[in-house]
Amino acid sequence: MLKMAKIMNMPKIGVNMTDGTITEWYVNEGDKVKFGEMALAAETDKDVQDIPADQSGIVLKIIAQAGDNVECHKPLAIVGNAGENIDHLMAEISGQPEPPSTAPQVAEKRVDTAGAKESIVQKNESGRIPVSPLAKKMAKDLGIDLAAVNYQGIRIVKADILAYQDLKKEEAPEVSNEMLPVSINGNVVSYSGMRKKIGSRMTESVNTKPWAALTMAVDMTETVNWRKRVNEMAQLKVGFNEMLAKACSRALIEFPKINAQLAADGNEIYELNDINIGIAVDTDSGLMVPVLKNVERKGVIELAEDFKGLVERTKARENISGDLSGGTFTISNLGGRGVSNFRAVINPPECAILAVAATIKTAVVVADEIVIRPMMNITLSFDHRMVDGDYAAQFLGFIKNLLEEPMKILM
């Protein structure tokens, strides 16, 4: 058992994780937990992850409930010995001083929220209003001034925000029918969970990255023939994604500025040694990006084995640690959907992403003659802060050359 109670915080799983939404607690208050035992599940920007207890003891208090969004390193629960006093930890979490043994008279009259027209709010010694992360976010989204919200506990929580919102609805004048929005003839789908997290990451990418895009047409004749020969000899069939990943790894070795990430403060660029290529996969939960690790060290057969396992685990939402993190470059292949050309949104914090379109039989001119060839468009979206257009064009041209002469991939 612990010598004294401790706060269990939301861990940071992967370099890009900033928060997690609790989907389920596996333990209740009063339950005994052991170090490393799975205590709850939380949905991150990548997937639903099981969160282990970081200490052994009794769950004395669950701070964040199912549905709450919790920032990394913020409190989830308090674990300690049975019957242990945790007032000092609750005060630490709320930002208030530890309550004295004998409560003094409160100078200001507290007004019950349900019937209040004006709220009186207590502040801590620093002058800040104690509020949970979820309640703070809700107040910001709803445009609610926290100073106007009355609360009964040690800090403002979700229920206080909802109560204040209900109170304001009661006070609001009745809206005439002419002001009501037109009813929706269809389904209303909640914009939440994985869909919302994907949207947030894509919005972040588009709003923060000054990106540009370049497109080249690739004659896939030799790659199509080479893949056919490989699959006639190999037990496990090799797909185009694995061949694309291998070609990209060769290009990233030659053009290391693209296998890079920009520091959060924008003052440094990290050129990475390992080449970890994410390949976008469509699932029932939305777009996921499982990551092939150390692609430069593996052959296409080994990559095919790795990718098969990654896709199976991702679609079943049974990913193991590292499956969906650590990427340095991403491929988005919509060729199977018949898309002839598109630009993909960069997967932050990476520098670039390759959009791969369908291979379509097209009339082209070869040696002054019109011939039919299987042509495929590839489009590179890149962060213009990190690389210039000419460098990006050379990188894309290198990939084009490898796909048109695939034996070079093995050299």
Distance CA 10, CA 26 (A): 15
* Residue 411 to residue 102: CA distance in whole angstroms: 79
Tell which wins on pLDDT, 322 or 121.
322
Does position 203 have pLDDT exceeding 60, yes or no? Answer: yes
Domain ranges of the chain: 6-84, 193-410
CA-to-CA distance for 323 and 160, rounded, in angstroms?
Answer: 39
Using CA atoms, how far residue 154 sits from 95, 98, 130, 151, 327, in Å, is 9, 10, 7, 8, 42
- Catalytic residue ranges: 384, 388
Tell me: pLDDT of 290 over 90.
Answer: yes
Q: What is 193-410's CATH number, 3.40.50.300, 2.30.110.10, 3.50.50.100, 3.30.559.10?
A: 3.30.559.10
pLDDT of residue 116: 40
Q: Which helix (H) or strand (E) holds 371?
A: strand 369-383
Residue 366 has pLDDT above 60, yes or no: yes
pLDDT value, residue 204: 81
Mean pLDDT, the chain, as a whole number?
84
Question: Could you name the CATH architecture of 6-84?
Answer: Beta Barrel (2.40)
Inform me whether the pLDDT recorded for 174 exceeds 70. Answer: no
For 8-57, the pLDDT digits (tens) are: 999 887 666 788 888 889 899 999 998 888 888 887 766 667 788 888 89
Q: What is the pLDDT of residue 294?
A: 96
Instruction: Choose between 324 and 273: higher pLDDT.
Output: 273
Residue 110: which pLDDT band, with cuts at 50, 70 and 90? Answer: very low
Percent of the chain residues topping a pLDDT of 90 = 45
Measured over the CA atoms of residue 309, residue 353, residue 377 and residue 357, the dihedral's sign is positive
pLDDT surpassing 80 at residue 298: yes
pLDDT in tens, 216-253: 999 999 999 999 998 888 788 899 999 999 999 999 99
